[in-house]
Amino acid sequence: MRKFLDLQLGRRVALGLAIGGILMAAPVMAQRSPAYQAAREKGQVGERTDGYLGVVGNQPQEIRDLVDDINIKRRANYTKNAQANNATVEEWAFTQGCFLIENTSPGEKYQTPSGSWATRTSAAPQRSSKCP
């Protein structure tokens, strides 16, 4: 029964994304600052499975501050959209993480389901079996 409920929730959140026409369009565009883009290209940051941006390895304070700022904006976006779609913030964030990881480009870092960092190749990224 729990599996069924998890599947239904995943479909509801995915449907909410499709209906709402959002894949974090505004926050993602805001995140494409030169500093963010450079950190992404250098592999200093990557997409985490929980929908938030992560610091890869030991990075300078300015990279950690950049990630914190982006994650604050993501959390606000997730909270708003979770409420609008009758989901928890964690459920919404996880689903967003699935899409963000799926949409990484070759050379970018992302977190695998085991929690380790991987570099995206031309192949599909490793994602959780719970992703919609």
Whole-model pTM over 0.95: no
Q: Give the whole-angstrom CA distance, residue 81 versus residue 24.
A: 10
The pLDDT value recorded for residue 108 is 96
Picking from 105, 39, 29, the residue whose alpha carbon sits closest to that of residue 67 is 39
71-129 residue pLDDT tens: 999 999 999 999 999 999 999 999 999 999 999 999 999 999 999 999 999 999 999 99
pLDDT digits (tens, 9 = 90+) for 34-72: 999 999 999 999 999 999 999 999 999 999 999 999 999
Supply angle C-alpha 80, 86, 88, rounded to 5: 70
Size of the chain in residues = 132
